[in-house]
Chains A and B, each alone.
Chain A
């Protein structure tokens, strides 16, 4: 006899051995806290949105703004700020829409795709922020080098008094900025992939199995 047929015969009878929960026990269960991956994705994603928003506030303090206004570079600063907040609103809207569409009543493939799509929205937001941060650092360094009085004084002293080499000065500043960008990017990406790697390992593996099944 086929193995599964044998199992099928036993399936019905063995089910009688399960413990039967009464109504009170079931009532208690429905209000317990869920530990589903969707809940964790939602929490981690909200933390990511909060992290980048707080970071942008930290760099947009009134002191920094006043300093930038004194450089007369609002024409660069304000479009960047509008872009940053605009993109935040856009991504948050898409993320929330995708999150709300996740439903355990969908078929398995659809459910997996919706979860991965929601996660991808946050991933794109993080990538945007990393690129945006690097662009802001480059612009910030350029603005400081061309407008900061202390930097300008140092540069003119190096140039006129021959205390050093201007090219070396520029190279040091650019080099340090690059190192900072690489370190921040590697740290954030590493952290990001570690968290999501652990969280989504099983889902991705099951999605791969399902896709293989479909293409065979």
Chain B
């Protein structure tokens, strides 16, 4: 029974692992931290898997556990805190930093998104994943109005940062 559950979980995770990578790319600044957060999200997903009833899509359920781990449960080690104290503009998203051909403007946008606080990053992530305000509000535990208002502020914030 456990083996089959394990097998099912790993199969689903393998299929949707990009979601975890995408979350990690928003919440970490280097590949070591990315791997570390990826591991923690995987552990939390596995721990929470018995509660997955299948009444929502596995991917939707992953968004919630992944964001909760990144925003709330993940404990950064000192090494990673040190690396985060470096000016975020100097960073591009994990894995992006190896791609020198990336458009300069996109790099700046990614860097600006990295400067947002953890909650705002969560909103941006769900927005980029084409989630509507209802889904964003349900995932974070805020109202739809709150999500909409904050999204507009984030857009203004990004515009101001990029034009300064």
Does chain A have a CB within 8 A of B6? yes
Query: A80 to chain B: closest CB distance in Å?
Result: 39
Which residues, 79 to 131 on A, are CB-close (under 8 Å) to B?
103-112, 115
| Contact-residue size bin, chain B (C-beta under 8 Å from the other chain) | 35 or more
Q: Contacts A7-B106, A29-B39, A202-B76 given; indicate if A104 touches B47 (C-beta within 8 A).
A: yes
Q: Which residues of A contact B159 (CB under 8 A)?
A: 3
Query: B115 to chain A: closest CB distance in Å?
Result: 13
Name B's interface SS. helix
- Total count of chain A residues near the partner, CB < 8 A: 49
Q: Which residues of B contact A34 (CB under 8 A)?
A: 40, 43-44, 47
Chain B residues packing against A (C-beta within 8 Å)? 6, 9-11, 13-14, 17-18, 21-22, 25, 38-40, 42-48, 51-52, 61, 64-65, 67-69, 71-77, 93, 95-96, 99, 103, 105-106, 109-110, 112-113, 117-120, 122, 124, 127-129, 138-143, 146, 149-150, 154-155, 158-159, 162
Cβ contact within 8 Å between A105 and B65 = yes
Query: A207 to chain B: closest CB distance in Å?
Result: 8
Q: Which residues of B contact A55 (CB under 8 A)?
A: none
Query: B142 to chain A: closest CB distance in Å?
Result: 6
Interface centre among A29, A109, A112, A115 (most CB of B within 10 A): A29
Cβ contact within 8 Å between B110 and A21 = no
Q: Which residues of B contact A166 (CB under 8 A)?
A: none
Does chain B have a CB within 8 A of A63? no
Cβ contact within 8 Å between A209 and B40 = no
Cβ contact within 8 Å between A103 and B158 = no
Does chain B have a CB within 8 A of A210? yes
Chain A residue at minimum C-beta to C-beta distance from B68: A104
Query: B158 to chain A: closest CB distance in Å?
Result: 5
Query: A192 to chain B: closest CB distance in Å?
Result: 18
Tell me which of B64, B74, B122, B158 contacts A3 (CB under 8 A).
B158
Q: Contacts A3-B159, A206-B72, A216-B149 given; indicate if A32 touches B14 (C-beta within 8 A).
A: no
Q: Contacts A34-B40, A35-B75 given; indicate if A105 touches B141 (C-beta within 8 A).
A: no
